[in-house]
A and B are shown apart, each in its own frame.
Chain A
Amino acid sequence: MKRYIVFLKQVPQSTKVELNPVTKTLKRSSALSRTNPDDLYALQMALDLKRDTAAEVVAVSMGPASAETVLREALQRGADRAILLSSPAFAGSDTWCTSLVLAAAVHKIGAYDLLFFGKMAIDGDTAQVGPEVAGQLDIPQVTCLSAVGQLTEHTISVSRKAGAYLQRMEIELPCAVMVSRENGELDCMTLSGWRRAQRQEILRWDEKDLGIDASSVGLYASPTRVVSTAVPVRKKEINWCADAAAFAEAIK
């Protein structure tokens, strides 16, 4: 039996953030959260492949306790089990430290064939974590995925875009695949799936479970550091057009 591990991130419902003009503080438009959209397509791909090959689909999320809802959704959609990586020690992790934690989780889960990541998270926009996990594990990474082809006992064939080229490749397992909404369509959820998911347990692992030193992850261990944040300076002064004639002048 194969094992597919899918990584899902909890992200804000909306990335819209308003700045309070008086206090200059952030005003979140919404505290609502959801599963990062690309990650759902990653899960779908794992579930689709599971239909053709006997496999266990493991859903993994790293984040606060509230990220359990993301894993609950993964279980409802058909994941076999779910693991939440949560610890205050993980706070402030940059993409490199995040990928370190995820790679440690992969090791703890044991043998695996495919790792699935969403291409990009809507709140971070880095598209880095998947490839960095693949890099840390030194396994092949399929970015810019066009389509997944045949899956055999030891290989997967894929086509991917590399600049102007479309490449067809055969890759030995295990490997990591980055998936986006262009790669498929989501199945709808059902009530019976929800009922099943409510009965399932979500494992929770912290740095001790993963066998990593608390000082090797989190803010202090992260190679990159946010040194400041600022309100973007408006560089442009806008010129208003009063009518079509002014507009015509502007586009000349």
Chain B
Amino acid sequence: MNEHTASFALQVREDQCIGCGMCVDACAYGAIRMAEYPEIDPYKCRLCGSCVQACPSEALALNEPETQTQISGGTSKGIWVLAETEADGTLSAVTKELLGKAAVLAEKLHQDVEALLIGSESDAAVSSLAAYGAQRIHLAGHSSLASFIEENYARAAVQVIRECRPDILLVGATPRGRGLSARIAALLQTGLTADCTELDIDAETGLLQQIRPAFGGNLMATIATPAHRPQMASVRPGVMKAREADPALKGECIRHDLSDFKCDGHIRLLDEVLETAGGDSLGNSRIVIGVGRGVKKKETVERICQWAKRLGAAVAGSRAAVEAGLIDAHLQVGQTGQTIAPDLYIAIGISGQIQHTAGIAGAKRIIAINPDKTAPIFNVADYGWAVPVEEALPQLMAVQV
């Protein structure tokens, strides 16, 4: 044992090791080699703890750090949602969803749901923040915040957050929200868990449990922020449930004084233009048909498109289908493509790697066609038809919705 492994956080208790090697299989980083006892390569180990969990004889231990867990309800208070608005000033769907989740968390913690709205002071946004459950609405308005510039929005957010010290801050994991939340976390020197699909409160510690897929979605990791505040999480759009809007609800509005606010002088916005909608018709479609690599031919895709037209559905594709040249890149759905939440998603010839299913988690109903009954798409589907695509298609053409 060298000086590094002696002080390493993951320790092997040789007297308890039964030499079964399950830790080796459990390690996703290939950091454990089985000699007489497991040998851990500290340069490869990420201290994820999978081996500790896998070990049947408690021979592996992850030394717990001696950081103090800050009990909620201390100096930090409030479940905050960072509001996002659309080009027309209305509230983004993800913000409504976050408010819905925040209400559930707030109830468990006996705290309030609060929203932070930066830049816009549109009445529509303010009243819908209240209607969707924000009890307090923090407004951070300033002339230099009219356009969304991450650096300026982050500065404004940090100023208000430092003043009010929320316990929890939730942000939508949208293209805007991801970059903004990361900068806010860096400036506040707090933790941030990206792209959560579930949030809860730990009954014992009152900590926010931030749950997100790991290892390609085959495991769900629960992450906590024990000592730093606020506990920050970005949340995947389309996953949480918004509450029914109640127009009778009136939140308390707090206008924060940003008269001293200085925007980032390194950035000059030359112009901004509203991009014409066209690429985003996927997002508005009630029915989306997803094409995967299992649809081997371009002609088959064309026939699917004809069928889609009759159904009034949009056609999208998995990354594999895009790479195979079956579907245009801008119609890709998944982790590296768009996230959609249609009423009905029909997956044709899609195997269902997390890369793709990450983008359809919000779909109300998923129906999959794939000849392989064990394809992972059937793990997320409500209905499945195990049949080759070429066989299914002529029959599908006759189907109306």
Contacts and interface: CB of A to CB of B under 8 A. Distances in A.
Interface of A: 12, 15-20, 23-28, 31, 63-66, 86, 88, 91-92, 94-96, 99, 120, 124-136, 138-141, 143-144, 157, 161-172, 175, 178, 180, 182, 218-220, 222-232, 234, 236, 238-241, 243-244, 246-248, 250-252
A238 B376 CA distance: 12
The 9 residue pairs across chains A and B that have the minimum distance between CB atoms: A135-B186, A223-B191, A92-B47, A143-B179, A244-B395, A224-B191, A131-B182, A88-B42, A64-B43
Given A95-B194, A243-B395, 20 more contacts: A27-B25, A86-B43, A91-B9, A99-B186, A127-B178, A128-B181, A161-B175, A165-B275, A166-B272, A172-B265, A223-B228, A224-B225, A226-B222, A229-B221, A244-B395, A247-B369, A247-B392, A247-B395, A247-B399, A251-B401
A239 B22 CA distance: 35
Interface residues of B, number: 110
B192 to A, nearest CB: 6
Contact of A167 (B41, B44, B271, B381): B271
B384 A240 contact: yes
A252 B148 CA distance: 41
B49 A229 contact: yes
Contacts of B54: 23-26
Contact of B386 (A141, A232, A240): A240
A96 B214 CA distance: 18
Interface string B217-246: 111111111111000000000000000000
Given A25-B22, A135-B154, A244 B392 contact: yes
Contact of A244 (B45, B275, B398): B398
B194 A128 contact: yes
A16 B376 CA distance: 11
**Which label, helix, strand, loop or mixed, suits the secondary structure of the B interface?**
mixed
B25 A226 contact: no
Given A164-B86, A224-B192, A247 B385 contact: yes
Contact of B267 (A23, A125, A140): A140
Contacts of B189: 96, 223
Interface in B379-401: 379-386, 392, 395-396, 398-401
A164 B175 CA distance: 11
Interface string B261-293: 000111111111111010000000000000000
Interface centre among B44, B179, B209, B401 (most CB of A within 10 A): B179
Contact of A163 (B176, B182, B218): B176
A15 B376 CA distance: 14
Interface of B: 4-5, 8-9, 22, 25-28, 30, 41-50, 53-54, 65-67, 84, 86-87, 147-151, 154, 174-176, 178-179, 181-187, 189-195, 209-210, 213-228, 264-275, 277, 329, 335-336, 344, 346, 353-355, 367, 369, 378-386, 392, 395-396, 398-401
Contacts of B43: 63-66, 86, 88, 91
B269 A167 contact: yes
Contacts of A231: 218-220
28 contacts: A12-B28, A15-B354, A16-B353, A25-B25, A26-B54, A65-B43, A66-B43, A88-B5, A92-B45, A94-B191, A95-B192, A126-B194, A127-B182, A131-B186, A163-B175, A165-B147, A165-B272, A165-B275, A167-B147, A170-B267, A172-B267, A225-B225, A226-B221, A226-B222, A227-B209, A231-B219, A238-B378, A250-B383
Contacts of B275: 161, 164-166
Contacts of A88: 4-5, 8, 42-43, 45
A28 B268 contact: no
B272 A120 contact: no
Interface centre among A26, A170, A180, A218 (most CB of B within 10 A): A26
A180 to B, nearest CB: 8
B401 A252 contact: yes
A234 B42 CA distance: 34
Interface centre among A125, A136, A244 (most CB of B within 10 A): A125
B8 to A, nearest CB: 6
A28 B30 contact: yes
A96 B25 contact: no
A23 B379 CA distance: 20
B282 to A, nearest CB: 15
A229 B220 contact: yes
Contact of B192 (A17, A96, A166, A178): A96
B87 A230 contact: no
A162 B218 CA distance: 32
